[in-house]
């Protein structure tokens, strides 16, 4: 363990020195660098990240959809030292080989972004708080409303495709604990909320003010599931805005 840490520190030191003198951006990769990078990627990364780089949930290193933007130097460092306390291992590559992998990935991302949309999590966060008005129903890290599910760690629970679908087709797949229910009391009053439980005699809802409401079935004229109160954003947000929001949501992983 000690030797490992020591080696990592040595590599890091060497790296800092390397980048201090030759910033990566200033280097020009040759075609053979890119080919070597591709070979190394296939040999050392594809077994976990997949040949297209999208096999680890929430990370698409084939398209540059990382949890947070990384500079080339940070990418090289990640490859060399791994990410502590996660399955992402340190590799045995030299810093030069790691830079070739990064050059290969960057070239791939550039060629893909010319044809497909790449999300920007920072823009997505702004949309979440402004135009999307998502915080009026959702909470992230304690801020926002509890009407809809808490999204603080939604990126760890859903794939990008699932998130995209939640935004464009909210009723397609609703988690059982998020189903909405409406009761109509005998006096005509209606209450809507997330259904917590119901049995032969009673119904429990969490209403829009996050209050637990209990009803006796004898007092109800009607009770039924209703569609999700979440609007579809399929037409109100552009494709780019949706992609940005999905990037942001994917980045929400830890409390
Ligand atoms: C043994 C499996 C494994 C191998 C091999 C592997 N990775 Fe990873 N990698 C992971 C896992 C798992 C994560 C997510 C770690 C976490 O939970 O933060 C990750 C995370 C990353 C991240 C951070 C992404 C982000 O959005 O934060 C980058 C970049 C990355 N890997 C690149 C590579 C490259 C390049 C290679 C090949 C040199 C490689 N990985 C090899 C499993 C692996
Ligand atoms: C009027 C309230 C409301 C608004 C506004 C709203 N949501 Fe929702 N959202 C909900 C409710 C309720 C659910 C749970 C039912 C469902 O899945 O449709 C939900 C579900 C979700 C889910 C799926 C959660 C899961 O566990 O799979 C995501 C993701 C989501 N919303 C994101 C957003 C984003 C991003 C915005 C803003 C662009 C937004 N919502 C705006 C009420 C809302």
pLDDT, residue 9, reads 36
Domain with CATH 1.10.760.10 in the chain: 2-113, 121-173+231-250
**Pairwise CA distance, residues 62 & 206, whole Å:** 42
Q: Whose CA is nearest to atom 23 of ligand 2?
A: 166
Q: Considering the domain 2-113 in this protein, what is its CATH number?
A: 1.10.760.10
pLDDT, residue 183, reads 94
- Which DSSP state fits 56? B
| Ligand 2 touching residue 138 (CB < 6 A) | yes
pLDDT, residue 177, reads 81
Q: What is the pLDDT of residues 49-88, one digit of tens each?
A: 999 899 998 898 988 888 877 888 899 999 999 999 999 9
Domain with CATH 2.30.30.100 in the chain: 176-226
pLDDT, residue 167, reads 92
Q: Domain 176-226 has what CATH class?
A: mainly beta
pLDDT, residue 4, reads 41
Residue (of 107, 103, 101) closest to 63 by Cα position: 107
| Ligand 2 touching residue 139 (CB < 6 A) | no
- pTM confidence score: 0.54
Ligand 1 site, CB within 6 A: 44-45, 47-49, 56, 59, 61, 66-67, 75, 78-79, 83, 86-89, 91, 101
pLDDT, residue 81, reads 96
- List CB contacts of 51: < 8 A, sequence separation 6 or more: 42
Segments of the chain scoring below 50 in pLDDT: 1-27, 114
Q: Domain 121-173+231-250 has what CATH class?
A: mainly alpha
pLDDT, residue 8, reads 40
CB 216 within 8 A of CB 181: no
């Amino acid at each position: 363990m000690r030797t490992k840490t020591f080696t990592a520190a040595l590599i890091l030191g060497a790296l800092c020195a390397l980048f201090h003198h030759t910033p990566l951006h200033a280097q020009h990769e040759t075609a053979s660098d890119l080919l070597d990078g591709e070979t190394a990627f296939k040999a050392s990364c594809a077994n976990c990240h997949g040949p297209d780089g999208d096999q680890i949930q929430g990370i698409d290193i084939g398209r540059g959809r990382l949890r947070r933007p990384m500079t080339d130097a940070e990418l090289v460092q990640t490859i060399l030292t791994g990410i502590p306390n996660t399955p992402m291992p340190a590799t045995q590559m030299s810093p030069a080989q790691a830079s070739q992998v990064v050059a290969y990935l960057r070239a791939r991302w550039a060629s893909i972004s010319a044809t497909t949309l790449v999300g920007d999590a920072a823009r997505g966060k702004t949309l979440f708080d402004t135009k999307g008005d998502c915080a009026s129903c959702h909470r992230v890290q304690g801020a926002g409303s509890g009407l809809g599910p808490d999204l603080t760690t939604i990126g760890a629970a859903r794939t990008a495709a699932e998130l995209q679908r939640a935004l464009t087709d909210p009723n397609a797949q609703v988690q059982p604990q998020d189903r909405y229910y409406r009761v109509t009391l005998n006096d005509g009053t209606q209450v809507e909320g997330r259904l917590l439980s119901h049995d032969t005699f009673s119904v429990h809802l969490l209403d829009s003010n996050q209050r637990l409401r209990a009803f006796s079935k004898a007092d109800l004229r009607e009770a039924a599931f209703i569609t999700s109160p979440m609007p579809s954003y399929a037409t109100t947000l552009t494709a780019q805005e949706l992609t940005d929001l999905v990037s942001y949501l994917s980045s929400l992983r830890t409390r």
